[in-house]
Structure 1
Amino acid sequence: MKNFILIAQYLRIALISVLVMSLSACSDPQKPSSLKQILERKTLRVGTLHGPGNYYRKGSNEAGFEYELAQKYSEYLGIELQMVSVHNLSDLISKLDKGQVDVIAAGITVTKERQQHYRFAPGYGQVSQELVFKQGGKWPQSINEIDGDFVVMKDSSHAQNLVQLKKLQPNLSWQETDKHDSEELLRAVVEGDIDFTVVDSNTLALNQQHYPQLSVAFTIQKAQPIAWMLSQEADDAFLSSLIEFFGEVHHNGTLLTLTQKYYTDAISIAGIDNSGFINAAKVKLPQFESMFRRHAEGMDWRLLAAISYQESQWQPTARSHTGGRGIMMLDKKTARQLDVHSRLDAEQSIRGSAKLFQQMFSRIPHRISNPDRQWFALAAYNIGWGHLDDARLLTEERGGDPDRWLDVKETLPLLKQRKYYQDAKFGYVRGDEPVRYVENIRAYYDTLVHLDDENLHQN
């Protein structure tokens, strides 16, 4: 079977190469085919925007809907992938115009205006444009009722649509910015800095889990297709390969799987259910307590157990939407690095996670004492050392103490904002997630310690 797959891949590359040569023969010899250049370069350069729906880094791993889709396409071509991520749409389009990226993969809406200047791959979804406001604020029912600070992204399809609507509603006014992305504009609405913005429905779905105060006033533009965008000069061979690729991922379920992973199944980290946790500590924990004790390696086994509950609620067969599996929710790459052969084997998973935590703990400067060192190690365990180090540096720049968890946990959420993450070495991260992660585990750990104390007193 493996040989058959390899042969099929070789045949696909051969067919693409034949298409490239045939089209090149009919074209100007001084202007080589763009797909031919990509194959000869052996690298696909994909332009995208930072953000959870497109591309971001979590520790040493790369993730995002567009990243995974681009990875599939580069594998389809048999070449390497180079993600080129920027902070605003204007810069991204400029890179495509200058030939610095081969294609843009950033949930770009296909509009008539854009079709006049660019080529598009087949659509892989549809999004509507929603006018968003904060619950309890002004609630306009139509375009002519919008009154307040109204800001959208520059060069976006939202701005293009508003230009057309203004022809019907001359009093409509708004501001355009290239200093903030959609997620930052949504946060500005939540924080009361602006009254309204427009975002795509998929972006809103991804962010409402973090900002439940967001509400939709009305749909400002009905569903439109989204697609990868190519230069007008991109050759037919390149477009043909994309047509075949998107047809394949549509029929084999890849698109559906990625959509469910990043949009349908996306959930925020669970809050504390103390009664449920206490019950689980009495019923489930005894099955695994000896494993936690055996592999704690110098750390309090109850902390390791608290990490496990946060990850899976002590379920050895658990599965997360991000690809984690098992009682410690390890992803495949991390499991391989930790020599975990089966993520569904609770013993192996616990052993590997204890090793990972100790690695993170050892990287924290020795001058930092517990419990701060422990909380830093937990944050690094969740998002990787690089993002934690970015937050510590930023904390120091802002006059805080980079060795104090209380100061750093105030800074971590800032790494969602472009004005902070654009200068950070490891870039964008949802910094509020590790804060909740650490606080949840601290609460579980404290409860386990309290339960142990109760048992001692009873005995």
Structure 2
Amino acid sequence: MGFLRLMLLFERHNNSASFLFILHLAALVVLATNCSRSKQVEEEKVHQPSDLEIIRETGILKVVIDYNSTNYFVYRGKPMGYQYELVMKLCDDMDVRPEITVSNNMAETFEGLKSGRFDLVAKNLTVTRPRQMEVAFTRPLKQTRQVLVQRKPSADTPDSLFLNTTLDLAGKQIHVQQNTTYYRRLLNLSEEIGHPIRVVEDSVNGVEQLVSMVARGEIDYTVCDENVALLNQNYYPNLDVSLKISFPQHIAWAVRKESDDLKEFLDRWIVQFKETKEYREIYHLYFESQRTTGRFGSPFHSIAGGKISEYDPLVKELAKKHNWDWRLISS
């Protein structure tokens, strides 16, 4: 209610009682208006720091990486891996320290991101619509396709087990890592071919463990990204990874949906860094170089050989008591 309206009321009720009433009412209006404005000013002054600001203020970027022969592993006591080196370069450019958690559990990964335990998921995440409902993806790091991993026909593997087309998947049992896009892709493929595919979600073994199980004949089929499959084919020459079961898909990192400024920073960084010689060298080292096969066959490779140093048993025992990653301590 404005002062003009109050004056009109005063003229209609020109007596002392009315005047006192209107004067009191005017005071309440002024007081309420000032309080409202003060509250608005105070709210404007209160600034909630963004995720990127918190990371820079604390000097720590909390990252979760998966443990395999490409993303993160330890070789001769030194942490290595495609995603590991990207994260280290990112933190160097941000002038922060990485706090790395190693986890192959996808459910734990996404829950940890949403709860604030992690700031960044630095894994080979396939960008899908269901996942976009939960997290925000960065610009793609690369593209890949999903392929079927199976054994080549041999004396130990009859031709009847070898699959040539996606139609041959009908009725077959395929093991995939739990909570991955491979499971959803096989369900969709089952609808497309009009026949059921028996998909077994493995909650214990990761992608590369399942690949090795196929190579050893413990299971017949699994699914993984093409670049990882081609890399593992160097380790296991008896594998065939030629059957594609998806179109090319984007692979990216993920942050919380509300981390707009962090995502914007990461998008710029990824686009710029992918154009550098350093990025090309990192990619070549882990996906194209013949030295990769040699590292994997070494007893000092933390996945294939599992040996980092002669003190491994002692480190493992101490790390287990404190729920630490013994590989990070030994390295």
Q: TM-score range by the shorter chain?
A: 0.7 to 0.9
Residues 1:264 and 2:288 aligned together = yes
Distance 1:207 1:380, change over 3 A: closer
Aligned match of 2:122: 105
Which of 301, 307, 312 aligns to 1:390? It is: 312
Q: Is the contact between residue 209 and residue 267 of structure 1 (CA under 8 Å) also seen in structure 2?
A: no
Aligned match of 2:186: 162
Residues 1:124 and 2:141 aligned together = yes
Q: How far apart are the structure 2 equivalents of 1:248 and 1:223? A: 23
Q: How far apart are the structure 2 equivalents of 1:79 and 1:190? A: 41
Residues 1:210 and 2:210 aligned together = no
Q: How far apart are the structure 2 equivalents of 1:143 and 1:173? A: 14
Aligned match of 2:61: 44
Residues 1:188 and 2:213 aligned together = yes
Q: How far apart are the structure 2 equivalents of 1:127 and 1:213? A: 22
Q: How far apart are the structure 2 equivalents of 1:214 and 1:392? A: 37
Give the counterpart letter for 1:144 in structure 2: L
Give the counterpart letter for 1:425 in structure 2: W
- CA-CA distance at 1:202 after TM superposition: 1.4
Distance 1:258 1:103, change over 3 A: same
Aligned match of 2:20: none
Q: Is the contact between residue 102 and residue 325 of structure 2 (CA under 8 Å) also seen in structure 1?
A: no
SS of residue paired to 1:222? coil
Q: How far apart are the structure 1 equivalents of 2:98 and 2:214? A: 36
1:119-155, Cα deviation, whole Å (9 max, x unpaired): 1111111111001101123122233322443101111
Q: How does 1:16-415 map to 2 (within 5 A)?
A: 29=46, 31-136=48-153, 137=157, 138-146=161-169, 147-168=171-192, 169-216=194-241, 218-234=243-259, 236-267=260-291, 386-390=308-312
Q: Is the contact between residue 151 and residue 175 of structure 1 (CA under 8 Å) also seen in structure 2?
A: yes
Aligned-pair identity in percent equals 23
SS of residue paired to 1:53? coil
Q: How far apart are the structure 1 equivalents of 2:45 and 2:86? A: 32
Q: Is the contact between residue 130 and residue 219 of structure 1 (CA under 8 Å) also seen in structure 2?
A: yes
- CA-CA distance at 1:227 after TM superposition: 0.7
Q: How far apart are the structure 2 equivalents of 1:423 and 1:97? A: 22
Q: How far apart are the structure 2 equivalents of 1:161 and 1:251? A: 31
1:346-366, Cα deviation, whole Å (9 max, x unpaired): xxxxxxxxxxxxxxxxxxxxx
Q: What TM-score, normalized to structure 2?
A: 0.73
Q: How far apart are the structure 2 equivalents of 1:90 and 1:381? A: 27
Distance 1:179 1:35, change over 3 A: same
Q: Is the contact between residue 51 and residue 428 of structure 1 (CA under 8 Å) also seen in structure 2?
A: no
Tell me which moved more, 137-146 or 195-204: 137-146
Q: How far apart are the structure 2 equivalents of 1:241 and 1:43? A: 16
**Structure 2 spans left out of the alignment, 5+ residues:** 1-42, 318-322
Give the counterpart letter for 1:263 in structure 2: F
